[in-house]
Amino acid sequence: MNDEKRENPRILVTKFSIKGKKKDEKDRCWLKGYLVNRSMEIGEPEKFQSTKENNFEIV
């Protein structure tokens, strides 16, 4: 990733869960401009904030 593109709020992560079901690490899903695919519950993406380049936590 180029630092120039850091403005774009797209975070590529490795895993996410949907309604308690964890998907494959290779699965991907777009949520309102965010490319997320790490362990996280699907809800309002606004409630999630990236703490690392490849990690999300609930705020």
Q: What is the mean pLDDT of residues 37-57?
A: 46
**Rounded Cα–Cα distance for residues 54 and 12 (Å):** 6
pTM: 0.15
Q: What is the predicted pLDDT for the residue at 27? A: 45
- Compute CA 52 distance to the chain's CA centroid, rounded to the nearest angstrom: 11
Rounded to the nearest integer, the mean pLDDT of the chain is 46
**Rounded Cα–Cα distance for residues 1 and 4 (Å):** 8
| pLDDT more than 70, % of the chain | 0
User: pLDDT digit string (tens) for 16-44?
Assistant: 444 444 555 444 444 444 444 444 445 54
Domain ranges of the chain: 3-58
Q: What is the mean pLDDT of residues 3-19?
A: 47
Residues 6+ apart with CB under 8 A from 15: 22, 23, 25, 37, 38, 39
